[in-house]
Copies of this chain bind each other. A is one copy, B any other.
Amino acid sequence: MFRPEIKVLDCTIRDGGLANDSHFTLETVRGVYKACCEARIDYVELGYRNSKKMFSPAEFGLWRFCDEDDLKRAVDGIENQGTKVSVMQDAHKAEAADLLPKDQSVATLVRVATYVKDIDKAIALENAAHDKGYETTINVMSISVESDWELDPALEQIAKETHVVACYVVDSFGALYSEQVDYFVDKYRRILPKNVEVGVHFHNNQQLAFANTIEGIIRGANFLDSTVYGLGRAAGNCPTELLLGFLKNPKFNIRPIFDCVANTVIPLQKQVEWGYMVPHMITGILNQHPRAAMAMLKGADRLKYRQFYDQMLELVDR
């Protein structure tokens, strides 16, 4: 028996935008959107609604801002049988004023990404989005380096002060093993009210993004993030096609995602590099931000794994 509460959120364009400064062509965005609609995925996240004061539109692509006109162009004329559009706001890099009232927007869901330290900013953004009529979530990033004595009160605040439909465990560093997934999902489930779903968002540094998503499902998580062919910064994400291959809900259709991999995502490999590579694995096992691995891979020493490992060990020493 499938679990009808399970929702799949494809964030290929949004999270993939961290790999190319959100410089996707309109054709690419429409390709992903169309595939997700045909696959009957529950939500498709088309980018960030971040502040133009924090990100220069000269440097970043349209999908870092998701102006309503651009969102309209992304979805225009594409048949939609219930797939909802999501945008993400970074708690420390977005403004409530950038959101139109829901009835003037293509988006239905606003997800606020935050570090625990910015939880009050996140809650303010969430409250504003909720007041404007959106469904909302809060996504707690870099969970693998947060301390319980800070995380637990933050979750309690989310429980009391927001109207989120889901709150996410986000393993930004790709550091978690299944035991830690159990730990965090159990904690969320314990602290959050029953009507708030637990969401999971995993990275593939250790080839565990899909496995950890399954582990989250087993533990009760019902909001699941994925990207087509795992497109994403560094090692990438839980692949949408694997998730649809696993889920039993007969409404999902995996075929359009296959087409999207072949026609829309694989061509991006010419401009963006992602996937399992040893430097990404090293930052994952050492519970570090992927930026050092990304920088190392751009240099002439991109195969000097041992040297990189020893440098990262130095950095981890406290």
Stretch with Cβ within 8 A of B (4 or more), from A70-78, A85-93, A208-216? A208-216
Contact residues, A22-70 vs B (CB, 8 A): none
User: In the bound complex, what is the Cα–Cα distance between A231 and B204 (angstroms)?
Assistant: 18
Interface segment among A13-21, A116-124, A147-155, A302-310: the answer is A302-310
A262 within 8 A of B: yes
Query: A193 at interface (Cβ–Cβ under 8 A)?
Result: no
* A307 and chain B: residue at smallest CB distance: B258
User: Is A79 engaged at the interface, CB distance under 8 Å to the other chain?
Assistant: no
User: A239 and B207 in contact (CB under 8 A), knowing A246-B177, A281-B245?
Assistant: yes
Q: Which residues of B contact A310 (CB under 8 A)?
A: 255
In the complex, chain B residues whose CB is within 8 Å of the CB of A126: none
A178 and B215 within 8 A (CB): yes
Q: Are A281 and B242 within 8 A (Cβ)?
A: yes
Closest to A260 in B: B305
A210: chain B residues at CB < 8 Å are 206-208, 211
Q: What sequence of 0s and 1s flags, for each residue 237-280 of chain A, a beta carbon within 8 Å of any chain B beta carbon?
A: 00101100110000000110011011100100000000110100
> How far apart are A136's CB and chain B's nearest CB, in angstroms?
31
**Nearest CB in chain B: distance from A226 CB, A:** 12
Number of copies: 2
When the two chains form their complex, are residues B214 and A177 in contact, meaning their CB atoms are under 8 A apart? yes
Known contacts A207-B204, A266-B303, A241 near B178 by CB under 8 Å: no
CB distance A258 to B305 under 8 Å?
A: yes
A145 interfacial contact with B, CB 8 Å: no
Bound-state Cα–Cα, A178 to B214, Å: 8
Q: How far is the CA of A254 from the CA of B206 in the complex (A)?
A: 14
Q: A215-B178, A245-B281, A245-B285 given as contacts; is B207 within 8 A of A262 (CB)?
A: no
Q: Which residue from B204, B241, B275, B276 sits with its C-beta under 8 Å from A278?
A: B241
Instruction: Say yes or no: B211 contacts A262, CB within 8 Å.
Output: no
Q: How far is the CA of A204 from the CA of B241 in the complex (A)?
A: 15
Minimum C-beta distance from A276 to chain B (A): 8
Not counting A211-B211, A211-B212, a sample of 11 additional A-B residue pairs whose C-beta atoms are within 8 angstroms of each other reads: A177-B214, A208-B211, A229-B278, A239-B281, A241-B281, A245-B281, A246-B285, A254-B309, A262-B304, A263-B303, A275-B276
Contacts from A to B (Cβ < 8 Å): 177-179, 204, 206-212, 214-215, 218, 229, 239, 241-242, 245-246, 254-255, 258-259, 261-263, 266, 275-276, 278, 281, 285, 303-306, 309-310
**Closest 9 A/B residue pairs (Cβ):** A211-B211, A258-B305, A245-B285, A262-B303, A258-B306, A255-B306, A207-B210, A207-B207, A208-B211
